[in-house]
A = this chain, B = another copy of it.
Amino acid sequence: MKNPKIKSEEIARIAGVSRSTVSRVINNYSNVPAETRDKVMKVIQDYNYFPVMSAQVLAGKRMRTIGLFLIEPGNVSSDSLTNMLLVSVIENASEHGYYILANIIRDTKNKDTIRSVKEIFMQKRIDGGIFIGAAINEPLIEELIAEGFVVGVVDQNQEYPQSNRIVANFNNDSGMKQALAYLVDLGHTKIGVINGDMNRLSGQTKYEGFKKAMHLHNLPVKPDWVLPGDFHDRSGYDAIQTLLHIPTDLPTAIIAANDSVAFGAIRALKEHGLQVPEDISVIGFDDHVLSDMHHPALTTIRVDFNDMLKHLTTDVIAKIELGTTNIKEITMDCSLVVRDSCKRI
């Protein structure tokens, strides 16, 4: 370790100014003449000086880091979405000069977990947090918000609007409407749905959107064709198993709460000798990375997580910096992507 870390005092001495002035040039105060600034900057660069962050923070600066909390009960590893989210958040934060402290939460109800998440905020390790994967009501998040910390949450709404809570969602209503309009246009009237996790806002809004859209087209929502699911492949598979074992006629088209569910559903259909889209049409939601390569290529509702996270990150940082008290709610559009999994009838 060749570096005993030069500190601002020495920079000041060498540049022939006071620590105050060194601090002023570092913090870009306007009242420092160019000449002085240049002189000090030269010394700073020559000595490769960087202010110690903890000293800056203790003296009143921000950490410039935001905590990213990925709520993932199961194995995160398999989900390549998480990865994209992370990259998106990191790079956007970075553009604002912010850093990301990445965390995984396995269980939001776990005592130790709750304590350690709160600790991160209370210790002032971070200036704010972003939660991904939250259920509709997460006491942990509510507590944090009540404490006044700024938090961004994907997939929640402003039930009790608070200015330090920023929510981000997709317009699932519109997405479902598009999906349905497309199917109806193809001649479908017998349409089923495999739901997502109803503990998540998007699970609910997608189903609500489905019902509304069906109503719009004067189509009945047949209870036998409303299958439970949880956003995972397996639940799509199971839903089809269920559907095929009840004495009912089959829908001609199925809307899945997301593409993973659609994959599972198609797998189950194939196993029962039903071809997609020849025998039954399937439409997904989210536009998963693999949907394009899937056989058949999956028709779906595209959603731009990247862009959403970008907005959320930016807004969280803005809230931290500006402390504005307006209520922030981000809603992103989604759009139909037609591929090969639906057929005209």
A3 interface residue per 8 A CB criterion: yes
Instruction: Report yes or no: B57 in contact with A54, Cβ–Cβ below 8 A.
Output: yes
B-contacting residues, A93-141, CB 8 Å: 94, 99-104, 118-120, 122-125
User: Chain B residue with minimal CB distance to A82?
Assistant: B83
Tell me the smallest distance from the CB of A169 to a CB of chain B, in Å.
21
Instruction: Report yes or no: B1 in contact with A124, Cβ–Cβ below 8 A.
Output: no
User: Chain B residue with minimal CB distance to A125?
Assistant: B53
A2 interface residue per 8 A CB criterion: yes
Tell me how many residues of A have a C-beta within 8 Å of chain B: 47
Given contact pairs A52-B58, A147-B1, A148-B1, A104 touches B90 in the complex (Cβ within 8 A): yes
Tell me the smallest distance from the CB of A289 to a CB of chain B, in Å.
6
Complex-state Cα separation, A99 to B2, whole angstroms: 26
Given contact pairs A76-B87, A80-B78, A83-B77, A48 touches B101 in the complex (Cβ within 8 A): no
Instruction: Report yes or no: B104 in contact with A91, Cβ–Cβ below 8 A.
Output: yes
Given contact pairs A123-B50, A147-B1, A101 touches B104 in the complex (Cβ within 8 A): no
Which listed residue, B50, B63, B76, B86, touches A54 by the CB 8 Å rule? Answer: B63
Tell me the smallest distance from the CB of A259 to a CB of chain B, in Å.
15
Instruction: Report yes or no: A120 in contact with B99, Cβ–Cβ below 8 A.
Output: yes
Given contact pairs A51-B123, A53-B125, A2 touches B77 in the complex (Cβ within 8 A): no
A84 interface residue per 8 A CB criterion: yes
Instruction: Report yes or no: B104 in contact with A148, Cβ–Cβ below 8 A.
Output: no
Given contact pairs A54-B54, A54-B124, A102 touches B90 in the complex (Cβ within 8 A): yes
Tell me the smallest distance from the CB of A47 to a CB of chain B, in Å.
11
Complex-state Cα separation, A48 to B79, whole angstroms: 36
Which listed residue, B2, B77, B119, B147, touches A80 by the CB 8 Å rule? Answer: B77
Complex-state Cα separation, A122 to B83, whole angstroms: 28
User: Chain B residue with minimal CB distance to A164?
Assistant: B1
Given contact pairs A57-B54, A100-B101, A78 touches B289 in the complex (Cβ within 8 A): yes
User: Chain B residue with minimal CB distance to A91?
Assistant: B104
A65 interface residue per 8 A CB criterion: yes
A322 interface residue per 8 A CB criterion: no
Binary interface encoding of chain A residues 25-69 relative to chain B, with 1 for a CB under 8 A from any of its CBs, else 0: 000000000000000000000001011111101100001010010
Complex-state Cα separation, A53 to B63, whole angstroms: 10
A146 interface residue per 8 A CB criterion: yes
User: Chain B residue with minimal CB distance to A2?
Assistant: B148
Given contact pairs A58-B55, A86-B86, A99 touches B125 in the complex (Cβ within 8 A): yes
Complex-state Cα separation, A86 to B75, whole angstroms: 12
User: Chain B residue with minimal CB distance to A103?
Assistant: B90
Binary interface encoding of chain A residues 153-166 relative to chain B, with 1 for a CB under 8 A from any of its CBs, else 0: 00000000000100
Q: Which residues of B contact A76 (CB under 8 A)?
A: 83-84, 87
Q: Which residues of B contact A1 (CB under 8 A)?
A: 147-148, 164
Q: Which residues of B contact A118 (CB under 8 A)?
A: 50
A-B pairs, top 6 by smallest CB distance, nearest first, are A1-B148, A50-B122, A54-B57, A83-B83, A54-B54, A77-B84
A53-B54, A65-B125, A76-B87 are known; give 4 further A-B pairs, CB within 8 A.
A2-B147, A3-B147, A54-B124, A80-B83
